[in-house]
Amino acid sequence: MRIAVDGPLDLQATLESGQAFRWRREDGWYGGVVFSNAVLLRRTARGIEFRSTPEDEEALAEHLVDYLGLSDDLDAIYRSIAVDEHLKAAIRRYRGMRILRQDPWECLVSFICSAWSNVHRVSGNIEAIASRFGEPVHQDGGTRHAFPSPNELAAADEAALRILGLGFRAKYVPHTAELVASGEVNLLTLREASYDDALRVVLSLPGVGDKVANCVLLFSLDKREAFPVDVWIQRVLCDLYLGGAGRKMSTRTLRLWAQDHFGPYAGYANHYLFHDRRLAAR
């Protein structure tokens, strides 16, 4: 099935830029698991071609439009964030990279696992969690696994998660899962909350600091002003914007400065700068 794309889309940058961790590229297709569906998709001259199972492809198409951020007006976003030559250059290189709108639960666990880690290791952690605790989904003779629900991970043993390579992060996942499974924290309702209210709730969860919380808000909870500050972004802000003064600032202070500087789409500015710097370092 095909999805028409109105506006630029760099599918490779969108799926390989460290927002989500379960996409695999092979023979021109990206394979992943979205909303418990095994999905194969690729960019074509006419838009996006995809196959999926078990959900009906026509029904899933609308969800994929949402997931891939295809309703974002990138031209308006670029006009807002292209405030200097650094961002203009990153936009030229990765024009069409979009911010995903992921399942908040999977996104939350993914970024809890990202603390003091890297994209490759987190990808292995999340795939291992799904394979160990998630339901199998079959496609084209292969098997992937849906990401386990909060109830399934609430029942997970910390030792089992450590065996999967989570290290010290293993203790946070079941505790966070219990809060979500019980309904004490409803992640989906945070899409309608203000940035400050959503940030306060996500920061209250075990294993979540300012960087992880802002990742979750940006990549799954519709908070385009969220600005995660990790080591890459800290270097960018210090090297390109703040000089030595930036090295004396806390993560939170850097984030507040950037949100004021880049405006309502600070999260898009963040991700273009992050992706540009990370690839330049390879």
The amino acid at 36: S
CA neighbours closer than 13 Å in the CB half-sphere of residue 251: 13
**248 is a catalytic site residue:** no
Give the separation between CA 95 and CA 107, rounded to whole angstroms.
24
Q: Return all residues near 116 (Cβ < 8 A) that are at least 6 apart.
A: none
Give the separation between CA 199 and CA 216, rounded to whole angstroms.
9
Q: Which neighbouring-strand residues pair with 48?
A: 3, 43
Give the separation between CA 153 and CA 146, rounded to whole angstroms.
13
Helix (H, G, I), strand (E, B) or coil at 44: strand
| Alpha-helix runs per DSSP H in 42-118 | 57-67, 74-81, 85-93, 104-112
Catalytic residue among 171, 211, 223, 248: 211
Give the separation between CA 239 and CA 98, rounded to whole angstroms.
25
The amino acid at 13: A
- Give the active site residues: 211
